Amino acid sequence: MTTTCVKRAFKYRFYPTDAQAAELSRTFGCVRKVYNLALAARTEAWAVRQERVDYNATSAMLTAWKKTEELAFLNDVSSVPLQQTLRHLQTAFTNFFGKRVKYPRFKSRKRSRKSAEYTTSGFRFRDGRLTLAKMSEPLDVVWSRPLPEETTPSTVTVSQDAAGRWFVSMLCDDPTVKPLPALGAAVGVDVGLDHLLTLSTGEKIANPRHERRDRARLALAQRRLARKAKGDGANRVKARRKVAKIHARIADRRRDHLHKLTTRLVRENQTIVIEDLTVRNMVKNRNLARAISDAAWSEFRSMLEYKAAWYGRNVVAVDRFFPSSKLCSVCGTLQEKMPLSVRTWACDGCGTTHDRDVNAAKNLLAAGRAVSVCGAGVRPQRSSPGGQSATKQKGSRREP
């Protein structure tokens, strides 16, 4: 059986010179401008003339825009990121028509992610030195890990986060990512707040509560930001950057912890059964929103799914309405009520005393095995690479 090579992004931090930072900032602005102009043109064409505008038409528009006096500054930056942003807009509309996302939105100078994507014609990578178009010197990249041997990047994405840090992401074929040897092990995973994960084996993994560790420092920085005058003053920009740095530090710690957990689960188990939670609805609970967001259940699931696809594992998502907590994992008796405050309970049928979370994980594992065999007992809600699920989406979409 032939296996296709996995496309994998390798992200590194770099430190640009003043000239490079200025060039990249101009590029980010031009990318945002072209994206917004193309989105406005496509929206207007459909609203006024019922006409669909595709990538080729917007590419021709870009050529015309560069010839105008008002938009002549677009010639000052590399044309590759500008063409790529038009392709990204085309992908956004394709996903919109496929009823996977909402209608594309305009990019904001303050809120949108600052990034520019370069294809092979827009950069040079030789002997571990990366040079972008319109630049004479290579970027000062911190090579924290090596790229796969005998591979060259197909695209390079440069970005700057809200904390002012610069990153370069290089998309490469990674021949080292191969399916792991098959195992007979399977595990049910119940996510929570007191414990981040509870496994069907009885193991409980503590919730680090990354946001709580920096909550006082974050609150102080936010109060100082709130006292600054509105606008783009230097003091407000500096205060906003301090808040962003604290958020970035929290997110980095959380992401690192989740990577370690998901890698361990994928390496030790052939099948991993989770619950299909609607986190976006759960965070509407004002009492639990902060704790749920800090736990990052959606990010945990996303990591688990793509790593399972890489290494030949299975992720099964059990329907969110499956009564995993109220069902006795020994005799199958269903309890009528199970408030969140109840952490330990005794089954009315067999008298077994259950830890709420361990019992839920065991029931998830049993339900996942059932769907793996015959597709009964669960209703996964969204498709997942390497997993077993079914997508259900409703609602109509308007034309661009």
Residues serving a catalytic function are 190, 275, 357
Strands 186-191 and 271-275: parallel
Q: Which residue has the tokens 């600052």?
A: 114
Check if the beta carbon of residue 393 is closer than 8 Å to that of residue 101. no
> DSSP letters of 139-186?
--B--SSPPPTT---SEEEEEE-TTS-EEEEEEEEETT--PPPP---E
Beta bridge pairs of residue 275: 318
Contact call for residues 175 and 310 (beta carbons, < 8 A)? no
What are the distances in angstroms from CA 252 to CA 199, 211, 248?
Answer: 25, 11, 6
Helices (H) and strands (E) in the chain, counts: 10, 14
- Which structure tokens are listed for 228? 């600054």
Q: What are phi and psi of 282, to 5 degrees?
A: -70, -30
Are residues 74 and 33 in contact, defined by beta-carbon separation less than 8 angstroms?
Answer: yes
